[in-house]
Amino acid sequence: MSLRIGTRGSALARVQTGKVCSHLAEMGVAVETVIITTEGDTATSVPLHEVGGQGIFVRALDDAILRGEIDCAVHSMKDIPAVRPQGVVTCAVLERDSPADFLVHDGAIEDIRIIGTSSTRRRAQLLRHDPSLDVRDLRGNVDTRLRKLKGGMYDGIIIAKAGIDRLNLDVNGTLLPTDQFVPAPNQGAVAVVCRDDPALIRLLGALDSPETRADVEIERAVMEEIGGGCFTPLGVYCSAGRLTAEILSADGARRERIEMEVHDPDDARECARILGARAAGLISEAQMKTGVEYER
């Protein structure tokens, strides 16, 4: 059997897809990689929430699957939006890499004043940690962001630790603890999505990590229940059933947080309803700021 696997063209996306291709090759499955450009790869001059949020990295590949141009696609799972088109399923979640954020910097951490990130969550968490920081928007792939850092535009930038590890980058900096800088839902996880075909799902399902899937499905249940995508400063992280979730104001000055043991996505949704009720004002503020109606 031969599969056409879709991917974005960034170095990180290609590395992640290469890992999936290697696993499939070990299973005796022939693969062809198809690079697809998404709107998120071309519209890099404006903040991510102004061009549709994380979902714009996924939409073009979903459409290619539904048109039959590719059989499946590989994504950073945190990019996959809560609402999915009919006919596309998440057939495998690979074993998770580090979920943490990493602050890349060369100088002393106490001298950092200007930090680059396009994430509303990271911005809010940084400002909660130090309200005097100057947090500026930063888009582009990992190479582009590192080049801007080296060019002196920022004192530091935040990148997912998983991306640094997958690209084997040699960078200086500080690993941000997940209890203080709660990651984005599903950060560090790679997902394979495909058309809703039982034979294809069964084949690709051999790549699935049950432990990682259990944790990320709990995180995804919280994200889906609360809504807001990347527009609300939302951190959600689950490890072996221990769930931490927080919602922050844009300036990091206020937050609501919950920490609980959960057993399944139903437990997670109940926790999310409690958190969402406590943070209703913060969610409304984010909605008014972006002018986006949230999908739930």
Q: Which residues are catalytic?
A: 79
Nearest CA among 163, 279, 295 for reference residue 229? 295
Q: Are 233 and 249 in contact (CB under 8 A)?
A: yes
Backbone angles phi, psi at 290, to 5 degrees: -95, -20
CB atoms within 10 A of CB 224: 18
3-state secondary structure of 260: strand
- Tell me which residue of 239, 245, 242, 250 sits closest to 277, measured CA to CA: 245
Q: Is 104 helix (H, G, I), strand (E, B) or coil?
A: strand
Torsion of CA 153, 159, 165, 171, to 10 degrees: 30
Angle, alpha carbons 85-223-16 (nearest 5°): 65
Structure tokens at 255: 């937050």
Say whether 111 sits in a helix, a strand or coil.
helix
